[in-house]
Amino acid sequence: MTLIKKGAEAWLFREKWYEFEVVRKWRIPKKYRIKELDETIRTHRTKHEARMISEARKRGIPTPIVFMVNLAESSILMEDVKGKTLKEVLDSLPIEKRKEMCIKIGENIGKMHKTGIVHGDLTTSNIILTDNNQIVFVDFGLSSHSNSLEDRAVDLHLMERALESTHHQMAKKYFEWIIKGYRKVMKDYTDKVLRQIKEIRLRGRYVEERREK
């Protein structure tokens, strides 16, 4: 077992499981919480994430295969997706390839939203470009079931903010391409989402102005 990432809520390990190379996502205990409450929270979040990953995959969204869920230790055993995060590689790809990737991302976000799934943490860190040039969405820890316009808009706004933070030179163009892909699936509903994103931005600016005053 090899530790590959430490997050605030969970640690990721790479290991062998029978003949498969897998990743184990283990939700670590939080000592500041009452033990019984901590176990309940970690169990619930583990069960929820595993279910959401599997459900998204069944609906045609590229996600890792979930092999096993261990609720006693709050861990998920899943496919080790070979590749790099888009955060690492997107800006170094040929421009046409970047456009293709962004449109694919948008199409898959559209599929998620159309089937009532909101990812909750859309960033290029949570999308893997595999060794055979496929994209895979990971980390469904904050995902939820929702058909709300607000939740869908927030999901895309999070992606927009992540692009501005990590890929600022091309952020506007990347987001335009993502919306182009999203529109292929969500059609005219996309305009409602874009209007809602605009409203969310205005709310954010208002809050910042209030803080400054």
**Tell me, what CATH number does 12's domain have?**
3.30.200.20
Q: Are residues 59 and 143 in the same domain?
A: no
pLDDT greater than 80 at residue 171: yes
Same domain, 91 and 75: no
Q: What is the Cα–Cα distance from 156 to 179, expressed in whole angstroms?
A: 9
**Domain identity same for 63 and 25:** yes
Instruction: Report the C-alpha gap between 59 and 56 in whole angstroms.
Output: 5
Residue that is written with structure tokens 């888009």 in the block: 86
Residues belonging to the active site: 121
Domain edge (last residue) among 63, 79, 95: 79
Same domain, yes or no: 93 and 140:
yes
38 and 122 part of one domain: no
* Same domain for 9 and 98: no
- The enclosing domain of 139 has a CATH number of 1.10.510.10
Predicted pLDDT of residue 213: 52
pLDDT tens digits, 29-76: 999 999 999 999 999 999 999 999 999 999 999 999 999 999 999 999
Q: Which amino acid is at 176?
A: E
Are 53 and 101 members of one domain?
no
Residue 206's pLDDT is what? 46
Of 79, 105, 133, which residue is a domain's last?
79
pLDDT of res. 147: 97
Per the structure, the complete domain to which residue 170 belongs is given by 83-212
Question: Pick from 79, 101, 117: which residue ends a domain?
Answer: 79
Please indicate, yes or no, whether residues 68 and 173 belong to a single structural domain of this protein: no
Whether residue 208 is predicted with pLDDT greater than 90 in this model: the reply is no
Please give the full DSSP string across 102-155, using - where no structure is assigned.
Answer: HHHHHHHHHHHHHTTEE-S---GGGEEEETTS-EEE---TT-EE---HHHHHHH
* CA dihedral (153, 154, 155, 158) positive or negative: positive
130, β-bridge pairs? 83
What is the reported pLDDT for 7? 87
The total of structural domains in the chain comes to 2
Residue 81: the pLDDT is: 95
| pLDDT value of position 203 | 81
Q: What pTM was computed for the model?
A: 0.92
Q: Are residues 126 and 51 in the same domain?
A: no
